[in-house]
Amino acid sequence: MSGFRLPQGGRIDRTRPLAFRYGGRSYAGFAGDTLASALIANGVSVVGRSFKYHRPRGIFAAGPEEPNAIVQLGARPNLKATQVALVDGLEAGPVNCWPGAGFDVGAAAGLLKRFLPAGFYYKTFMWPGWRWWEPMIRRAAGLGRVDPEAAMPDGQRRSLHCDVLVVGGGPAGIAAALAAGAEGARVVLVEQDPQLGGALLAADGAVIDAMPADTWLAAAIATLEARPDTRVLRATVAFGVYDHGLVAAVERERIVWKIRARHTVLATGAIERPIAFENDDLPGVMLAGAARTYLLRWAAAAGRRLLLFANNDDAYRTALAWTSRGLPVAAVVDPRRSPDGPLAEELRAAGVPITAGAVVERALGRRGVTGAVIRHATGGRTKAACDVLAVSGGRDPAVNLFVQGGGTLAWDAAVAAFVPAAGGQGMPAGAAAGAFALGRALADGHAAGAAAANVAAGTVPYAEDDVATPLQPTWYSGRDQSRCWVDRASDVTVADVVLAARESYVSVEHYKRYTTSGMSPDQGKSSAVVALALLGAATGRQPADVGTTRFRAPWDPVPLAALIGQDRGPQLRPVLHLPTHDRHAALGAMIEEYGGWMRPAAYPQGAESLDAAVFREAAAVRAGVGLFDASPLGKIEVRGPDAARFLDRMYVQRLSTLKPGRLRYAVAATEHGIVFDDGVVARLAEDRFLVGTTSGGAGRVFDAFEEWLQCEWVDLAVFVTPVTHQWGVVNVAGPEARALIAAAGTDIDLASAAFPHMTFREGTVAGIPARVSRVSFTGELSYEIAVPARRTAALWDALAAAGPMVPFGVEALMTLRIEKGYIHVGADTDGTTYPADCGFADAVARRNDDFVGRRSMRRPDALRGGRLQLVGLLPEAADATLHAGAHVVAAGGGSDGHVSSACRSPAMGRTIALAMVRDGRARMGEAVTVDDLGKTVAARIVAPVFFDPEGTRLR
Amino acid sequence: MLLIDCPWCGPRDEAEFRCGGEGHIARPDPDTADDATWAAYLFDRDNVKGLGFERWHHRHGCGRWFNVARDTVTHEIRAIYAMTDPKPTGGA
Amino acid sequence: MPRLAYSAFSLLRQGLNRHRGWPAAWRTPEPKAHYAAIVVGGGGHGLATAYYLARNHGVTDVAVLERGWLGGGNTGRNTTVVRSNYYFPASGALYDLALKLYEGLSRDLNFNIMLSQRGMLMLAHSAHELEFARRTVNAIRRNGIDCTLLDRDQVRRRLPILDMSPDARFPVVGGYRQARAGVARHDAVAWGYARAADARGVDIIQNCEVLGFIFEGGRVVGVETSRGAIRADRVGLAVAGHSGVLAAKAGFRLPITSYALQAFVSEPIKPILHEVVLSSATGVYVSQSDKGELVVGGGLDLHPSYSQRGNLPVVEGVMSGLVGMFPCFANLRMMRSWGGIVDVVHDSSPIIGPAPVPGLYLDCGWGTGGFKAIPAGGTLLAHVMATGEQHPIARPFGLERFRTGALVDEAAASGIAH
């Protein structure tokens, strides 16, 4: 509990105090704080527990690389405290500990730590079986919690196009945006922090263009915001680079931006890495840059007395900032023999002792750091007291997006880090390109921005860079490897790295998977390079030869609510509604989705069950007349001099012989010979057809027509137009159909002689221009009346008012067509059914010219015996039931086919079924056993037409 | 996400398109092709790793089919050409 | 057996010894000039083939050649689902062979592959889908494999966080479930086979890319590799995603197109989902790992690809499907994504058996479902390589089915997304 708020300074608004709670306790912070900075300012040192061993952990970093401070914020689990902006009344808490972060029962796991090395679970739990052990392991799983009752957060997806996208609003990114937009190019600058500035937000005494960095920053931001064609997106995390340069970013966790830029500058900065030493996961051990950032940006000191362990000059700034605020610095421990740059001089001048050629071997303390053991070049050891141990092993360019975009990396010995080498869809700049010093970063960013916008170089922002003593690569300085942490988030130690190497997991991908290193919410941002350097050391390889694991999207976890945008609720794959939807709803229809359309399944009356309603409706159609909304039936107009020739090639039945004004039923197959769709085709004129398709098939049939016309038969003069949605269709079916239409008023002569079955007329019905097809899917006298879609309701109303009728739904239609043995493509057929299997063998045989799929129908498997063929099935007992999906039991106990459609038939007074049965057509009259979920029914194979086999009712 | 330069509509996101698979597959004469020839037409593919030739359909746009020469590793589009054009050669 | 058997006892002993005594899981041998058999591809299928060549057929003079690192292909890039709820008897026999072997694999290999038979539930969203589910359940049961049809309430009891409201975009009307289905730790399968094969004398050679084939008298007698020529009496190919590339090197084409398949992981959360769940409407499936992450998968990317990098539209589609099923997951975040290259075959069934050129044998075409089949793929490829004869279970899956038209089209018959 040693952190505190400095009395002045920082980029916080002290006039706006905020109250918040963490882990059940009340605290106070200020506007501008993050949850992490406020916790530090309030002296909260233990903020959570580690994933595996439940060790107490404190805040380690100040950005998205934070491995320890994973918090639950209301319904949202696993946020990093460093990324949570403080608001008044915020209520958060640690994850994965009980009862709290301070005392956690799960810490018992830490006692067994020596028996639980990386991959221990692969070596045990095999007896009595994983089934026995898994529930125990599983109880320990996970970090935060999902609240099943929580509301769904808002989310959006938006697109953005620009000339130059700059990712990262630090000095390099700002310089790039300034340069790129100087001549009016459209520039987008995205920054993951709510504030622009990056490292400048925690830079003490930096000078740019001869003015304080803060002044320069304010002027630069003002310039950018004054430009009409520059757009700045703050709190926006660019998380992925996709094909052809698309960058995806998420703003304030709510809006996913899909940004297409001509050029992208990746000024994504660098991430500091630690050096591993014993007990380096103690609260109070933190990255040097983070300690400095908390102090300067938020006026939050992580402790009273600092010990800095660093192998590079830049980290010295942390000690300088510390001492300049009047806080004691115990020592700077530096493995380099003679650190003597200007920063070292400044420190010495400030009276800070620099212990050169030394390392921190071990942090002291139990629940927070109280000191450190320093091992000197001589081998001697001394102790130093401190309550903040800042560590820096150098910095790693944030290359994730660069590599996602196809860039390759090279090991740069000067900074001991992987830096962008070549390729890629984005131009790295500044620290992201290894240019860590401020002056270099500004110049680099400026050059990248100018090049991206292809504008003249202009004036480069200038900052003087100190001459630095080269960094000395240092990865690990403890003795007991099992106490030196590499990946805090996943509880991986140096010993685990060495064990993985010993056990053959020497590929960096194997190592990662074996130890689970880098797989936690921080994604190994601060640990990955340390890990691979240690893996290299354990296997005698240089880091360059070890390589990195593959960088993938997302750079930082992306909220699903934003990713899904508005693809939710009814907008998730929107459905189609009938033009007469309101009429059906008013009639009490039970409306369900059929192939993307919301359609009446049936119209139950009062307390009537669905089955009873279906039975009643089907019976009423046979006895009188019913109305059915058939608008979803697909309708495609096919026109042109070659229309007939084309349709002959698309359908099993020949259509060129159809006479104008007549209709013909036709089945389409795929090139694989499989039943694809069916429908009734009308020939409107010599060169003009109206092709009917199934409701679900309208789109795919149209697509198939276009594909064959555009890709194969480019010589055919045919024009295809989908018109499904232009026409509403009401089907009037039943012996009283003619009377009902006549009563509604029509100028078409409905007499059978004038308008026979399978013909087509145009005229008016109820005063509405209509195309009327005399066609039946019910076996009854039936007319399909198509009118302009917006007049469908008027037609429906006129027909409904013209006389007694019963509205019937899809399920009654199914009952009626099963009684007639009409197939329903997709129910009676599936992706294995040839036309010959379901009753069209003769139609196929009649054709002597080619059509799509014909050749495939002559392959050995299509012609073999033992195919499933369409038959009828009748249960032997009149009161027995058959369900679609039941199987016919084969002699050997396997399946001899299945019931493809079944219903309780009003006409037959019993259950009837259509079935696809092995060699079915040769087995007429045979008794079979049908099994349905263990219940068997005796049934008989019959012809697949149960009602009016002669079709007298159609005529 | 591919940016495909539809010859009729200009550059659009891949979500508007449908990939129709390998292009330039000749349909054999169905009356003379033996089963093996027919099977090769239906199923066998070059499945090139690198520069491949495909046909694409601007499904949610103009509805036209066209050919695309595309690298299946980098996804870079090298050429877009009409259905009736031959495979580009040389530097395509 | 490996040099030091894995057990709770050895873990305890090594714990006291600071784990200094664990040996290498496998050797790093130099390739020999000749082997009795070469298996190209060090993924699950290839390593399993080598293991079963040694264990079932006594052929231990075997090399596994891997271009990169073991298990680095689809074995290490899938959603770890295992199941055998297939429609056709041929598929049922194949995948249940795999599942049965999985059930004994941890002890067989002395490597805990963490097979978790927590059950897999396929949701049905309409009366029509429920009819199909019923047909599928009956077929699976006739194949002798466990499967249960569930009504709406039974689904609700198993998945209380599922959106069961009638006005959900895809209302749930029921589903079916295979209790023996579940998940296994994918890397462990590769590593376990590798360690066990190595212990039986198999040479596992990583970073060894096959550049071409050596022919003599029209027969494959070895391979040219980045580490020189290696000859063998017979060569097996188990290189999912790149089957077509290697086939081209051997001079033939395959009925395969390579696509990228993505998978996604959320941050780890406390256990809330105890089944593998698949929605037939969206093709999205999800399970929760023993680490707490949601592991989510869906359909293929939209075009053929050899890039192990996924594309954004599929991410959006899969995640919206997931949230459509489980609205409370909208508060989660996607933490990792990855892509594998899968062999897509017209009938979504594998190709196992002799290649068009003598001396070469195929195990490919597994589409998006290769992980669940690893033990079977290995057993069957080992069988045909060792005996020259197709194992009865492999017979329906040979290349000749494309000529005859005798496809085994699971997607066509059952509506199951693979």
Identify the CATH number of the domain defined by range C26-112+185-255+347-413: 3.50.50.60
| Chain segment A373-414, per-residue pLDDT in tens | 999 999 999 999 999 999 999 999 999 999 999 999 999 999
> Which domains, ranges and CATH numbers included, belong to chain A?
1-151 (3.10.20.440), 156-271+397-453 (3.50.50.60), 274-393 (3.50.50.60), 480-541 (1.10.10), 576-632+726-816 (3.30.1360.120), 634-724 (3.30.70.1400)
pLDDT score at A550 = 87
Whether B91 has a pLDDT exceeding 80, the answer reads no
With vertex at residue C267, the alpha carbon angle to CA C266 and CA C272, rounded to the nearest 5 degrees, is: 80
A250: helix, coil or strand? strand
Chain centroid to CA A392:
36
How close A886 gets to chain C, by Cα (Å)? Answer: 6
C298: helix, coil or strand? strand
Chain centroid to CA A46:
34
B contacts of A854 (beta carbons < 8 Å): 30
Neighbour count for residue C29 (Cβ, 10 Å): 12
Torsion on CA atoms A153, A156, A157, A163, rounded to nearest 10: -120
| Chain segment A838-880, per-residue pLDDT in tens | 999 999 999 999 999 999 999 999 999 999 999 999 999 999 9
Instruction: Please report how many Cα atoms fall inside a 13 Å half-sphere around the Cα of residue A864, on the Cβ side.
Output: 11
The H-assigned helical ranges of C255-400 are 312-325, 374-387
| Chain segment A879-924, per-residue pLDDT in tens | 999 999 999 999 999 999 999 999 999 999 999 999 999 999 999 9
Q: How confident is the model at residue C250 (pLDDT cuts 50, 70, 90)?
A: very high
Cα A464 to Cα A207, A208, A441: the distances in Å are 8, 8, 11
A664: helix, coil or strand? strand
Cβ contact C254–B35 (<8 Å):
no
Interface test with B, best of A157, A161, A711, A856 (most B CBs within 10 A): A711
Whether C207 has a pLDDT exceeding 70, the answer reads yes
Sole residue written with tokens 């999985």 = C102
pLDDT score at C414 = 54
Inform me whether the C-beta atom of residue C391 falls under 8 Å from chain B C-beta atoms.
Answer: no
Pull the structure tokens for residue A44: 């909260």
How close C253 gets to chain B, by Cα (Å)? Answer: 6
Neighbour count for residue A799 (Cβ, 10 Å): 23
Q: What are the beta bridge partners of residue A389? A: A285, A307
Residues 144-183 of A with CB under 8 A from C: 144-150, 152-153, 155, 157
Kindly report the average pLDDT of chain C as a whole number: 95
B35 closest CB neighbour out of A244, A714, A859: A859
pLDDT score at C304 = 96
Q: Return the closest-CA partner of residue C243 out of B49, B6, A706.
A: B49
CB C138 within 8 A of CB A886: yes
Out of 1.10.3730.10, 3.30.450.20, 3.10.310.30, 3.30.9.10, select the CATH number for domain C120-181+258-345. 3.30.9.10
pLDDT score at C415 = 43
Interface test with A, best of B14, B24, B27, B32 (most A CBs within 10 A): B27
A contacts of B1 (beta carbons < 8 Å): 242-244, 246, 258
Which run of H or E residues covers position C209? none
Chain centroid to CA C305:
19
Interface test with C, best of B13, B17, B18, B43 (most C CBs within 10 A): B43
Domain-embedded: residue B81: yes
Q: Return the closest-CA partner of residue A524 out of A106, A131, A61, A87.
A: A61
Gap between the Cα atoms of A683 and A771, Å rounded: 12
Whether C2 has a pLDDT exceeding 80, the answer reads no
Inform me whether the C-beta atom of residue C256 falls under 8 Å from chain B C-beta atoms.
Answer: yes
Gap between the Cα atoms of A953 and A940, Å rounded: 26
How close C238 gets to chain B, by Cα (Å)? Answer: 17
A859 closest CB neighbour out of C112, C322, C405: C405
| Residue spans per domain, chain C | 26-112+185-255+347-413, 120-181+258-345
Neighbouring chains of B at 3+ CB pairs under 8 Å are A, C
Neighbouring chains of C at 3+ CB pairs under 8 Å are A, B
Inform me whether the C-beta atom of residue A859 falls under 8 Å from chain C C-beta atoms.
Answer: yes
Query: Counting beta carbons within 10 angstroms of the beta carbon of residue A325, is it exposed (0 to 12), middle (13 to 18) or buried (19 or more)?
Result: middle
Neighbour count for residue C42 (Cβ, 10 Å): 30
| Chain segment A35-86, per-residue pLDDT in tens | 999 999 999 999 999 999 999 999 999 999 999 999 999 999 999 999 999 9
Inform me whether the C-beta atom of residue C218 falls under 8 Å from chain A C-beta atoms.
Answer: no
Which run of H or E residues covers position A674? none
Q: What are the beta bridge partners of residue A762? A: A771
With vertex at residue A644, the alpha carbon angle to CA A639 and CA A647, rounded to the nearest 5 degrees, is: 95
Inform me whether the C-beta atom of residue A895 falls under 8 Å from chain C C-beta atoms.
Answer: yes
How close B29 gets to chain A, by Cα (Å)? Answer: 9
Query: Counting beta carbons within 10 angstroms of the beta carbon of residue C392, is it exposed (0 to 12), middle (13 to 18) or buried (19 or more)?
Result: exposed
Domain-embedded: residue B11: yes
Gap between the Cα atoms of A38 and A302, Å rounded: 11
Q: Return the closest-CA partner of residue A333 out of A369, A386, A284.
A: A386
Torsion on CA atoms A719, A721, A727, A730, rounded to nearest 10: 80
Preceding amide of A212 cis, omega within 30: no
Q: How confident is the model at residue C347 (pLDDT cuts 50, 70, 90)?
A: very high
Q: Is the pTM here over 0.80, yes or no?
A: yes
Domain-embedded: residue B92: yes
Query: Counting beta carbons within 10 angstroms of the beta carbon of residue B32, is it exposed (0 to 12), middle (13 to 18) or buried (19 or more)?
Result: exposed
Cβ contact A572–C336 (<8 Å):
no
Pull the structure tokens for residue C366: 């597994």
Which run of H or E residues covers position C30? none
Q: Return the closest-CA partner of residue A130 out of C146, C144, C372, C188.
A: C188
Sole residue written with tokens 């007990």 = A279
C290 closest CB neighbour out of A134, A523, A889: A134
C contacts of B44 (beta carbons < 8 Å): 253-255, 402
Tell me whether strands C34-40 and C62-65 are parallel, antiparallel or unpaired: parallel
| DSSP-assigned letters across all residues of A8-35 | S-SSSEEEEEEEEEETTEEEEEEET-BH
CB A240 within 8 A of CB A553: yes
Neighbour count for residue A79 (Cβ, 10 Å): 25
Neighbour count for residue A693 (Cβ, 10 Å): 27
A649: helix, coil or strand? helix
B3 closest CB neighbour out of A244, A706, A859: A244
Whether C15 has a pLDDT exceeding 60, the answer reads yes
- Domain of residue B84 covers 1-28+44-92
Q: Return the closest-CA partner of residue A510 out of C406, C131, C7, C66.
A: C66
Query: Counting beta carbons within 10 angstroms of the beta carbon of residue A909, is it exposed (0 to 12), middle (13 to 18) or buried (19 or more)?
Result: exposed
- Give the pLDDT mean for A529-546: 95
Q: Which residues contact A135 (CB under 8 A, 6 or more apart)?
A: none
Inform me whether the C-beta atom of residue C257 falls under 8 Å from chain A C-beta atoms.
Answer: no
| Chain segment A154-168, per-residue pLDDT in tens | 999 999 999 999 999
Cβ contact A78–C268 (<8 Å):
yes
Residues 36-95 of C with CB under 8 A from A: 68-72, 76, 89
pLDDT score at A2 = 85
B82: helix, coil or strand? coil
Inform me whether the C-beta atom of residue A573 falls under 8 Å from chain C C-beta atoms.
Answer: yes
Residue of C nearest to B35 (CA): C403
- Give the pLDDT mean for A124-152: 92
Q: Phi/psi of residue A708, each to 5°?
A: -65, -40
pLDDT score at B44 = 97
Tell me whether strands A285-287 and A388-392 are parallel, antiparallel or unpaired: parallel
Cβ contact B47–C304 (<8 Å):
yes
How close B74 gets to chain C, by Cα (Å)? Answer: 7
C89 closest CB neighbour out of A503, A558, A894: A894
Q: How confident is the model at residue A287 (pLDDT cuts 50, 70, 90)?
A: very high
Domain CATH for B64: 3.30.2270.10
**Cα-Cα end-to-end distance for chain A:** 94
Gap between the Cα atoms of A481 and A706, Å rounded: 67
Inform me whether the C-beta atom of residue A672 falls under 8 Å from chain C C-beta atoms.
Answer: yes
How close B26 gets to chain A, by Cα (Å)? Answer: 9
Q: Where are the beta strands (DSSP E) in C9-89?
A: 34-40, 62-65, 81-82
pLDDT score at C1 = 57
Gap between the Cα atoms of A426 and A45, Å rounded: 40
Inform me whether the C-beta atom of residue C257 falls under 8 Å from chain B C-beta atoms.
Answer: yes
Residue of B nearest to C346 (CA): B43
Whether A102 has a pLDDT exceeding 90, the answer reads no
| Chain segment C372-401, per-residue pLDDT in tens | 999 999 999 999 999 999 999 999 999 999
Instruction: Please report how many Cα atoms fall inside a 13 Å half-sphere around the Cα of residue A844, on the Cβ side.
Output: 23
Number of structural domains in chain B: 1
